[in-house]
């Protein structure tokens, strides 16, 4: 069975520092995809970044990068130069392999990130 684990329920980081949010996963699929979503206090869910299991390079989107370590089954989100607006809940998620479970997606329990001014 697939599983996503986020071990940090909450984190405090000083503004302008870089922050790493941990995510480990478990799957027997060879092909899968990993996501990060942000949920501000207003409640909406915002897509941040996607990494395919066969992508050779780590995904990056602006200040967000995904540190993908396939052998360790980890997909950590790195936010560079954190800003007050980065304070939010962050969810790691995974979809399964094509032709079997590609359309299913599971989410971790989330990490609440708080940025201190």
Partner 1 sequence: EAQVTQNPRYLITVTGKKLTVTCSQNMNHEYMSWYRQDPGLGLRQIYYSMNVEVTDKGDVPEGYKVSRKEKRNFPLILESPSPNQTSLYFCASSLRGAPYEQYFGPGTRLTVT
Q: List interacting residues with partner 1 (CB under 8 A).
A: 4, 6, 33, 35, 37, 43-47, 50, 91, 93, 95, 98, 102-110
92-107 in b/e form (b: 16+ CB < 10 A) is: bbbbbbeeebeeeebe
Residue 43 beta carbon to partner 1: minimum distance, rounded to whole angstroms: 5
- For residue 114, which phi and psi values (nearest 5 degrees)? -120, 125
CA distance 109 to 53: 21
CB of 70 to partner 1, least distance (A): 19
d(Cα 103, Cα 28) in Å, to the nearest integer?
A: 16
Min dist CB 110 to partner 1, Å, is 5
Cβ nearer to partner 1, comparing 33 with 82: 33
Comparing CB distances to partner 1, the nearer of 70 and 104 is: 104
């Amino acid at each position: 069975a697939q599983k996503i684990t986020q071990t940090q329920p909450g984190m405090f980081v000083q503004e302008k520092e870089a922050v790493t949010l941990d995510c480990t996963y478990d799957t027997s699929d060879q092909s899968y995809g990993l996501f990060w979503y942000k949920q501000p206090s207003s409640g909406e869910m915002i897509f941040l970044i996607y990494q395919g299991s066969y992508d050779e390079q780590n995904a990056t989107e602006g200040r967000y990068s995904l540190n993908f370590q396939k052998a360790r089954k980890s997909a950590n989100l790195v936010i560079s130069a954190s800003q007050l607006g980065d304070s939010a809940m962050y969810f790691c998620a995974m979809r399964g392999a094509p032709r079997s479970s590609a359309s299913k997606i599971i989410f971790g329990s989330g990490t609440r990130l708080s940025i201190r001014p």
